Structure 1
Amino acid sequence: MDGTTTAPAPAAPAVSADVSKGPLPLYRARVAAGALRADPAQAHAAETLQDLWRRLRGYDPRPEAKEEPGLLARFFRRKPVDDQPGGPPLGLYLVGEVGRGKSMLMDLFFETADVPRKRREHFHAFMQTSHRRIHEWRRAHGDAADPIPPLADRIVAEAALLCFDEFQVHDIVDAMLLGRLFEALFARGVVVVATSNTAPADLFKGKPGRDAFLPFIAMIQKRLEVLHLSALQDYRRDRIRGLPTWHTPLDGRAERALDAAFRELSGVAHGEPCSLTVLGRKVEVPQHHRGVARADFDTLCGAYLGAADFLAIATHFHTLVLDGVPRLGPENYDRARRFVTLIDTLYEHRCKLVASAEAVPDQLYEKGEGAAIFQRTASRLMEMQSQEYLALPHLT
């Protein structure tokens, strides 16, 4: 029976141990336990991940540790993997609409992957780290030194398996870096598994400079098997449709409700900070995980942020958990104006909002200059709590 592990019969072949481990048995066990709903598309993706799991068991592209000192330098001068027999297995690019279970499947795969060195992170965070390391290298060695080979050396020393959540490219600087960096990583035997809402052929689509990005897309399609996940249901929207999204007044109960909402939607109690690059500036997001961001009102509307900054938030994250919306009026009009821009941007991109506030939307800005303008924002805030809005797909 699916999800049940039994002792192998005496005559079972030695490889039978493989089928009692890995993401597929774990997926079946959770379906059997009622923790997951059976879904044919998810089951097919789990089977594909199981096959990759088998091929990756014990995988490490580095030379044997018993070799003499200097082996690392010799390894990094090896010929590309394509020129060697028995090169690494193809990675996997799991693409599908939001809420179809891609991150859940990645959880199962990464948890069970029998690889000595593996690393999983949000793709945007990986790119930020890469840019920081390049900056550090150039500061130490000068602009004339090529930072890509040492960066690739450092990454492969940390992980032979890279798992990326939410693979997406919005920034031209990232686009220009990716081709050379991933070529170097693949040459060193790194295997990549990624989830994305965007098919490889549509990455960076419609952006200036995309022609120079096309070789990277071709490389991804060559090195990663592309699997489209067409699950029957949007499980993420199911979760948020069951949650109250506006909590008032600002008290301990509201704070606990937002804690619970972030945990339910992201899968963690507390996210990691990140920054988004907008027109050469950094927009700081205090917490994020799996497409859910959390910030307080003062961080977003008390700072000098504008429409471009809020657009980056609305497109990078499918849900914003916003703490501490105060009453608004002429005395804090600048903050109110930024809040109006934030809500307009979230609304236009169907980004979901869970918030705590001093009052219900139509009582946030009741009188004084700007109150009439805020009526549309209040109306949108009410609509954003509706089941119809919560069922809409996120627009990136």
Structure 2
Amino acid sequence: MAELLQSPAGSSFGFGRRQPTDVIRATVTQRAEGEAMVLDTEQLAALDALANSTLWALGQGHRQDPAGRHLYLWGPPGRGKTWLLGAYFDALPTERKKRMHFHEFFRELHARARDASRAALERLDAGPPSAGPGVIPATGAARAETRSSAIATAIDSLLGDLDVICFDEFHCNDPGDAMLLSRTLKRIFEHRILLVTTSNYSPDQLLPDEYFHHLIEPTIDLINTQMSVLQVAGGTDYRTLAKASDERSGYATGSIIPAGDTGRMIELGLEIPASHEAVTIKPTTKPIAAKRAADGRFWASFEELCEGPTATLDYLAMVEDYTHWVIDGVPAGDAMSPFGLRRFGNVIDVLYDKDLRLDLVVDGELEPALTLLPPADAARLRSRLAALASRLPSVGR
């Protein structure tokens, strides 16, 4: 019988007299069997790595060198990475754990960093409590140092006293996030919090734009030196497996509808908005003109939502109010601008992660647009479009 493990000081977990590695393996395997899943070789290897890393994070090995204990699971969409991470997270025998979609984490981090920076700069500009009128303004260097310290405070406030943090869909497409990402990983590793991520990108594929890739290289170095990078790329894309209509839910209940097919729209319960329903909403800082935004339903044109100056932070704010989205006027792929295509992918990422219904009214084939994306991005978007109940064979079915 295994000896009862002693937890690191202050850690909060419990697994009786069973090793945490056994708990993780048994629980995840049983869940797979219950869902009629057969874990492939790469999924089983990832499960072993997850179980062993848990022993380091929660057991006596916590004082050992953490290099290689953190895990970066990557591979094409639909290969079971997110399922595996979810099953692992649920099986973790600790309450001090957090799982977040990477979009959500960065949204919260930006908000906390902004608030912390504003408060710190106000204190800096006010001077010490004893200072009277005529306080000398802080120098640029002092203000930069204050902002940097506020960012560290924001990161630490998100991490708290966690034992394990899990990120779904780890990626970086924004040059402005690259430096913040490096700082975040450093803080996680310094606090010896176990980090587990899933991604559709190998580390070297992060921020692939040749003009900005150098900004992500410090993060890539951290991943390659501190994390075990495992590929999960089994031959089955679970998202493309057909399901009966009564088995679909959330995102997968949406459709891709050819423009002008009013019969199909009526069949799906999509009533074209009346002119009096038009409204302008402001989810963050930018107004968005919607054709409908009421009772949990949001309807807007592709031109307004994707070609306008919207951002992922807007979509993340909007999903709190709207659970059914319709985007019409989606142009044929070769008519999309690069920025519109990128925002289109971001909208779909957010709605897929939140498992919210999305209906697309399209003017033509979408496949030509996918050829303009890096291969990993194209595979990701193609898989998510294929998850919709599409009538168009040219988007991945």
Q: Write out aligned runs for 1:30-179 (5 A).
A: 30-33=31-34, 35-57=36-58, 86=64, 88=66, 90-142=69-121, 143-144=143-144, 145=146, 146=148, 147-157=150-160, 159-179=162-182
Cα deviation, residue 29, structure 1 = 1.7
Residue equivalent to 1:215: 218
SS in 1 for 2:235: coil
Give the Cα separation in 1 of the matches to 2:102 and 2:48. Answer: 24
Residue 23 of structure 1 deviates from its aligned partner by 3.2
CA separation of 1:116 and 1:97: change in aligned 2, threshold 3 A: same
Q: Which amino acid aligns with 1:296?
A: V
2:78 maps to a residue whose letter is G
Q: Which residue of 2 aligns with 1:202?
A: 205
SS in 1 for 2:109: helix
What secondary structure, in the 3-state scheme, does the structure 2 residue paired with 1:93 have?
strand
- The answer to whether the Cα contact below 8 Å between 1:250 and 1:324 also exists between their aligned partners in 2 is no
Residue 316 of structure 1, CA deviation: 7.0
Please give the secondary structure, in 1, of the residue aligned with 2:189. helix
Contact 2:76 2:200 in 1 (8 A): yes
The corresponding residue for 2:392 is: 382
1:230 Cα deviation (Å)? 2.8
Q: Which runs of 5+ in 2 are unaligned?
A: 5-16, 122-142, 258-262, 271-295, 297-304, 372-377
Q: In 2, Cα distance between the equivalents of 1:309 and 1:342? A: 16
Q: Tell me the equivalent position of 1:322.
A: 358
Higher relative contact order (CA 8 A, sep 6+): 2
Match of 2:3 in 1: 14
For the residues of structure 2 that align with 1:174 and 1:95, how far apart are their CA atoms? Answer: 20
Aligned AA for 1:178? L
Deviation at 1:278, TM superposition (A): 9.1
TM superposition shift of 1:14: 3.3
Q: Distance in 2 between matches of 1:134 and 1:199?
A: 28
CA contact (8 A) 1:310 1:342 kept: no
CA contact (8 A) 1:53 1:109 kept: no
Please report the TM-score for the alignment, with normalisation by the length of structure 2. Answer: 0.61
Moved over 6 A (4+): 58-61, 240-244, 276-280, 298-301
Q: What's the CA shift for 1:194?
A: 0.1
Give the counterpart letter for 1:191 in structure 2.
L
Q: What whole-Å deviation, never above 9, does each CA across 1:35-73 have from its counterpart, x for those lacking one?
A: 212422212211221212233236999xxxxxxxxxxxx
RMSD (CA atoms): 4.0
Match of 1:352 among 357, 381, 385: 385
Give SS of 1:121's match. strand
Read off the aligned partner of 1:383 and give its amino acid letter. P
Please report how far the alpha carbon of residue 199 of structure 1 lies from its aligned counterpart in structure 2 after TM superposition.
0.9
Deviates more, 1:38-47 or 1:242-251: 242-251
Number of equivalenced pairs: 291
Q: Is residue 165–residue 196 contact of structure 2 (8 Å, CA) maintained in 1? A: yes
Deviation at 1:311, TM superposition (A): 2.4
CA distance in 1, matches of 2:329, 2:205: 33
Q: What CA distance in whole angstroms lies between the structure 2 residues aligned with 1:159 and 1:175?
A: 23
Aligned residue in 1 for 2:279: none
**Equivalent residues of 2:53, 2:194 under 8 A apart:** no
**Which digits, 9 at most, give the CA deviation of each residue in 1:292-347, with x for residues without a partner?**
x962236989xxx965133233267468753374xxxxxxxxxxxxx549947765
Letter in 2 for 1:297: I
The aligned amino acid for 1:323 is D
Tell whether 2:29 aligns with 1:28.
yes
- 1:272-287 alignment runs, 5 A limit: 281-282=310-311, 284-285=314-315, 286-287=318-319
Read off the aligned partner of 1:45 and give its amino acid letter: A
Other structure's SS at 2:192 match? coil
Tell me if the contact between 1:53 and 1:114 (Cα under 8 Å) persists in the aligned partners.
Answer: no
Gaps of 5+ in 1: 1-11, 62-84, 256-269, 271-275, 326-338, 362-380, 391-396
SS state at 1:35 partner: coil
- Offset, 1:237: 1.7
TM-score normalized by the length of structure 1: 0.61
For 1:100-149, what per-residue CA distance to the aligned partner results, in whole angstroms no more than 9, with x for missing partners? 10001101111111234211111122112111111111111124312232
